[in-house]
Amino acid sequence: LMNPKVIREKVLERTIDETAMKAVEHCLKEWIETVWDRDEMQDPRCKWCSSGLSCSRCTMGPCRIIPERNRDRGVCGADADLIVARNLLDTLATGAASHSDHGREIVETLLLVGKGETNDYMITDRKKLFALAEEYNIPTNREAIEVAHDLALAYLEEFGTVKGEIELTRRAPTATHAIWEETGILPRSVDREIVEAMHRIQMGVGAHYGNILLHGLRTALADGWGGSMMATEVSDVLFGTPVPCESQINLAVVKEDMVNISLHGHNPMLSEMIVNAAEDEAMQKRARDAGAAGINLVGLCCTGNELLMRKGIPMAGNHFNQELVIATGALEAMVVDYQCIFPSLPRTASCFHTKIISTSPKAKIPGSYYMEFEPSTARETAEAIVRTAIDNFKLRDPEKVFIPGKPVAVQAGFSVEAITAALGGTLQPLVDAIAAGKIRGAVGIVGCNNPRIKHDYGHVTLSKELIKNDILCVETGCAAVASGKAGLLTPDAAFLAGDGLKSICKAVGIPPVLHMGSCVDCSRILVLLAALGNTLGVGIHQLPVAGAAPEWYSQKAVAIGSYFVASGVYTVLGPMPHISGSPAVVDLLTNGLEGIVKAKFAVEPDPVKAAELIIAHIEEKRKALGI
Ligand code: SF4
Ligand code: MSK
């Protein structure tokens, strides 16, 4: 048995999420392995990999740069700067590809709807469909289904367009768009930039670190203003544009007397269908016949965020809650699509009766039950999954059930449309509040969990520091979930804000931290920034705003951070990327980019210090605007 004192120390080191603390303690006592145990097992980390100085790009290598032994170049002659830059572009392009491939699947579903080839999906937000179509000069004086067909084709073309630029980049303020054109980073098409990134990192192509990293910015813009933006917009058309809704959050949303199904991953296409299937009276009866009080769906990570935003489905937690929710012993099934899913989940589930159900041909997981999802048979698959979970209820061992604590209330659903509506139909009141100094500025806090930072501590501390200083926080992904668990996503949390922000929150009835959705919904933050810039007649880089990813881990977060910076948003990262082996790369990203895109990165793992950097930046921008 592990010493109780050691258990206590580990719990306190690992998380600030109160239900997670109890669950971590439970896992340590029961010897259920979690991400933190594996993190400890990986120490000490390879110092060359940590600083980006190793390369295994070709079979002349692997190579390491070890200056103290005069190993300044790999076998091909690549120096430290080049190796670090190539590794970073590889990471960024992986993230951009992940978001954009997700986006493509959603757009393809819209095309199925447009062709009349599916009965399972439909147009939910007709008004938004028509507004999006108008951006592409698609006639709207006809049936929605015809408009959907043409919009889907126009969007699919953005993945490989030969027009020379992605149309959606035109949403940016003129001054921002001009910077992209002048610096040669205006993205030409989504796939093209990602493919070119892969080409540039082939041995013997990109040889200058700066040239490689500038292409990284172009690839990131293709994600933010392309792949991710299309994912968000079309998800709204198909499933509804989010409006403010109330729900609950943390591990305690799992219910002892119900069939519990968690929905984990990123793509809302299957999970929306599971919500419909679970509401079906025949399924509810099946659950009651199995001895349960009903079916309880709970979200995780960004699939969870999508469902929370649109349907008010309760959220079990963020990235580091994924194993802990299995450890409640009360989960009949965890349905996963792709991205951020620990490949070891079936191993965790093997301690319990929980079935991990994988659904994507792109993400088959050994040890999981595979039920392939296709849009054309979506409802059928969703029903089969719900039945599997219900039938698994009888195998639950009541002795193993451990559901910690009580859920916390949250308000989510703050799409740009919802924020605008809450302000009375225009963003002018927000601009006025910023100009009057009641709100000093706004910060997008995004990204993941990472064992290098105590679970949720980075997100929650930064959010609290900023709202205390009258800075509105808009959040997505696991950052938003962390704030939710800490009670920051309710209008009542306004008491934690400074007097100015508090007065606005009270007048409008909104929380000081706004949940704007999933990772691809960072594109909503771009749309909000563009609207603010256009309202004020300035570029995004002139706005008193910033970005932060206090606990990021993912390649996708590298793409997000990079499109924030390329769009003119000063962005502070918590964990250091693997670039410290090249002072030149570090200097370009944290200094030199200012002269190119008028924004830069900073790295600060301490969220209190990160808040100080952001506050200083916002005040500087205010001064430059003369407000
Ligand atoms: Fe080594 Fe160059 Fe090959 Fe990388 S690309 S493994 S540095 S030879
Ligand atoms: S789920 S990318 S851990 S935010 Fe989008 Fe969370 Fe980061 Fe995955």
Average pLDDT score over residue span 193-213: 98
Q: Quick one: CA torsion of 478, 483, 484, 489, rounded to 10 degrees?
A: -130
The three-state DSSP-derived secondary structure of 140-156 is CCCCHHHHHHHHHHHHH
- Residue 173 CA to residue 505 CA, distance in Å, equals 27
Side-chain-side CA neighbours of 460 within 13 Å: the count stands at 21
> Could you tell me if 343 and 323 are in contact, meaning their C-beta atoms sit under 8 angstroms apart?
no
- On the question of pLDDT at 75 being above 90, the answer is yes
- On the question of pLDDT at 1 being above 80, the answer is no
Residue with tokens 């009375």: 424
Terminal CA-CA length for the chain: 61
- Residue 309 CA to residue 524 CA, distance in Å, equals 13
- Residue 32 CA to residue 115 CA, distance in Å, equals 49
- On the question of pLDDT at 366 being above 90, the answer is yes
> Could you tell me if 615 and 469 are in contact, meaning their C-beta atoms sit under 8 angstroms apart?
yes
Ligand 2 site residues (CB inside 6 A) read 266, 301-302, 318-319, 340, 447-448, 477-478, 518-519, 554, 556-557
> What is the average pLDDT value for the chain, to the nearest integer?
97
Report the run of H or E that residue 14 belongs to, with start and end: helix 4-14
- On the question of pLDDT at 323 being above 80, the answer is yes
**pLDDT score for 21:** 98
Pairing mode of beta strands 408-412, 245-249: antiparallel
- Residue 32 CA to residue 370 CA, distance in Å, equals 24
Pairing mode of beta strands 54-55, 63-64: antiparallel
- Residue 206 CA to residue 561 CA, distance in Å, equals 22
Does the CB atom of residue 74 touch ligand 1 within 6 A? Answer: yes
ipTM of the complex: 0.97
Ligand 1 centroid to Cα of residue 72, in Å, is 12
- Residue 172 CA to residue 10 CA, distance in Å, equals 46
- Other beta carbons within 10 angstroms of residue 577's beta carbon come to 21
pLDDT band at 382 (very low <50, low <70, confident <90, very high): very high
Q: Which whole-number Å values give the CA distances from 604 to 419, 551, 572, in the listed order?
A: 30, 11, 7
Q: Which atom of ligand 2 is nearest to the CA of 301?
A: 1
Average pLDDT score over residue span 346-351: 97
**pLDDT score for 2:** 85
- Residue 540 CA to residue 415 CA, distance in Å, equals 19
> Could you tell me if 89 and 219 are in contact, meaning their C-beta atoms sit under 8 angstroms apart?
yes
**pLDDT score for 347:** 97
Q: What is the CATH number of domain 245-341+374-400?
A: 3.40.50.2030
80-239 and 414-625 in the same fold? no
Residue ranges of E strands in 147-258: 245-249
- Residue 553 CA to residue 459 CA, distance in Å, equals 13
Name residue 222's amino acid.
A
Average pLDDT score over residue span 275-288: 97
Ligand 2 centroid to Cα of residue 620, in Å, is 31
Pairing mode of beta strands 333-336, 355-358: parallel
Q: Quick one: CA torsion of 348, 349, 350, 352, rounded to 10 degrees?
A: 120
- Tens-digit pLDDT profile for residues 456-496: 999 999 999 999 999 999 999 999 999 999 999 999 999 99
> Could you tell me if 379 and 120 are in contact, meaning their C-beta atoms sit under 8 angstroms apart?
yes
Does the CB atom of residue 75 touch ligand 1 within 6 A? Answer: yes
**pLDDT score for 488:** 98
- Residue 582 CA to residue 594 CA, distance in Å, equals 18
Tokens of 281: 């009276």
Does the CB atom of residue 375 touch ligand 1 within 6 A? Answer: no
> Cα 620 to chain center, whole Å?
28
328 contacts: CB under 8 Å, gap ≥ 6: 23, 251, 254, 260, 401, 402, 403, 404
Tokens of 383: 């029903």
> Could you tell me if 601 and 565 are in contact, meaning their C-beta atoms sit under 8 angstroms apart?
yes
Provide the residue ranges of all domains of the chain, joining segments of one domain with +. Answer: 4-50, 80-239, 245-341+374-400, 414-625
pLDDT band at 364 (very low <50, low <70, confident <90, very high): very high
- On the question of pLDDT at 606 being above 90, the answer is yes
Q: Looking at the DSSP assignment, which residues form a beta bridge with residue 549?
A: 573
> Could you tell me if 382 and 277 are in contact, meaning their C-beta atoms sit under 8 angstroms apart?
yes
**pLDDT score for 594:** 98
The three-state DSSP-derived secondary structure of 295-364 is EEEEEEHHHHHHHHHHHCCCEEECHHHHHHHHCCCCCCEEEECCCCCCCCHHHHHCCCCCEEEECCCCCC
CATH class of 414-625: alpha beta
Burial of 403 per CB tally in 10 Å (0-12, 13-18, 19+) = buried
Average pLDDT score over residue span 74-98: 98
Q: What is the CATH number of domain 80-239?
A: 1.20.1270.30
DSSP secondary structure code for residue 455 in this structure: B
Q: Which atom of ligand 2 is nearest to the CA of 340?
A: 8
Tokens of 203: 């041995």
Nearest alpha carbon, ligand 1 atom 6: 61
Nearest alpha carbon, ligand 2 atom 7: 448
pLDDT > 90: what percent of the chain?
Answer: 99
Q: Quick one: CA torsion of 420, 506, 608, 584, rounded to 10 degrees?
A: 10
Pairing mode of beta strands 471-476, 408-412: unpaired
- Residue 300 CA to residue 144 CA, distance in Å, equals 33
Average pLDDT score over residue span 609-622: 98
Does the CB atom of residue 205 touch ligand 1 within 6 A? Answer: no
> Cα 177 to chain center, whole Å?
24
- Residue 422 CA to residue 433 CA, distance in Å, equals 14
Which residue from 60, 81, 198 has its CB within 8 A of the most atoms of ligand 1, so it is best to mutate?
Answer: 60
Does the CB atom of residue 56 touch ligand 1 within 6 A? Answer: yes
Tokens of 146: 């015809």
Name residue 75's amino acid.
V
pLDDT band at 24 (very low <50, low <70, confident <90, very high): very high
